[in-house]
Amino acid sequence: MRYLVTGGAGFIGSNLVRLLLKERPDAEVVTLDALTYAGHLLNLADVRDSPRHRFVHGDVCDGALVRDTMAGVDVVFHLAAESHVDRSIVSDAPFVRTNVLGTATLLAAAAELGVSRFVQVSTDEVYGELPWEDPEDGGSAGSRFTEDTPLAPRSPYSATKAAADHLALAYHTTHGLDVIVTRSSNNYGAYQFPEKLIPVLIAFALRDEPLPLYGDGLHVRDWIEVDDHCAGILAAEARGVPGRVYNFGGGAERTNLAVARAILGALDKPSSLVGFVADRPGHDRRYAVSFERAREELGWEPSTGFDEGLKRTVDWYVRNRPWSEAVLGEAARRGRG
């Protein structure tokens, strides 16, 4: 089987490439990545030269390149995306181009070439926000997004991902393309670009600088370890029903403040390093997803508890500080850092 992973030099994408090569001995994997600021060949250093892996440097909006790269591919995993909410607030044009036009370009090629399955990897942010509930006093047992929750995106980033999801499902209905859409809660783990919450907080803590939490620090997210998420994506590709949406969550709701304190504890740093900065516009208060459909139809559930996964993640970033410095330096040289 030949698989195409778009965005395969990014955080989730590189972990998915690695898992595909490990779990499927007959897999041939093609990675397509434009290597924008958050995509780095360093993320694929241990698998880039595998005889079962080929890297293609290119843009998912380039129709000719996409068709050429997709020729002979059985399954597409589409992860290429602009993904940082803060950046989408500053400038939404790159998000519209990559997340909407890029997805449309890939879907058209997949339909033309007869790809057997197209997996659109999305986010729980397309659902909007949930009422705030305190995860420390039983709130996490309350409301959660399901796959039938109406989409109500509240940032330019999530709006473009919602548009991409609609496009993918429309291709299933209109053109008969075998499409699966997956939506996960917040990912964490190795190789995450140091702009997202957990790697940012680790970096500040290692420098003994105040950890910058937006607003009151009580925004709630459900955290999923990236390897669990990638296992879910593979389960959806292998056993999912065409035209269905599958949510993947970690069952680990935490306030950002609790995450910051856990990171400080793991690094033996004082809690006085917790700091607060002005909140960002339209900051969704809470996300949490139900993954009952994935459990029942795919036989999937998360295997990594948050405390264990966070400790492993902190240890990885401590051991790999040169990686963080290298990718940030490369991003700055590209003029996008």
How far is Cα 140 from Cα 119, in angstroms, rounded to an integer? 29
Q: Which of 59, 125, 165, 227 is catalytic?
A: 125
Amino acid identity at 17? V
State how far the alpha carbon of 185 is from the alpha carbons of 61, 232, 239, 288, 291, in Å.
Answer: 26, 12, 21, 7, 10
Q: Which of 3, 37, 127, 157 is catalytic?
A: 157
Does the active-site annotation cover 137? no
* b/e burial code for range 17-40 (CB count within 10 A of at least 16 → b): bbbbbeeeeebbbbbbbbbbbbbb
Q: Which of 28, 33, 82, 124 is catalytic?
A: 124
Residue 226: HSE in the Cβ half-sphere, 13 Å Cα cutoff? 21
Does the active-site annotation cover 112? no
* b/e burial code for range 52-61 (CB count within 10 A of at least 16 → b): ebebeebbbb
Does the active-site annotation cover 129? no
Question: Which class for 181: exposed (0-12), middle (13-18), buried (19 or more C-beta within 10 A)?
Answer: buried
Which residues are tagged catalytic? 124-125, 157
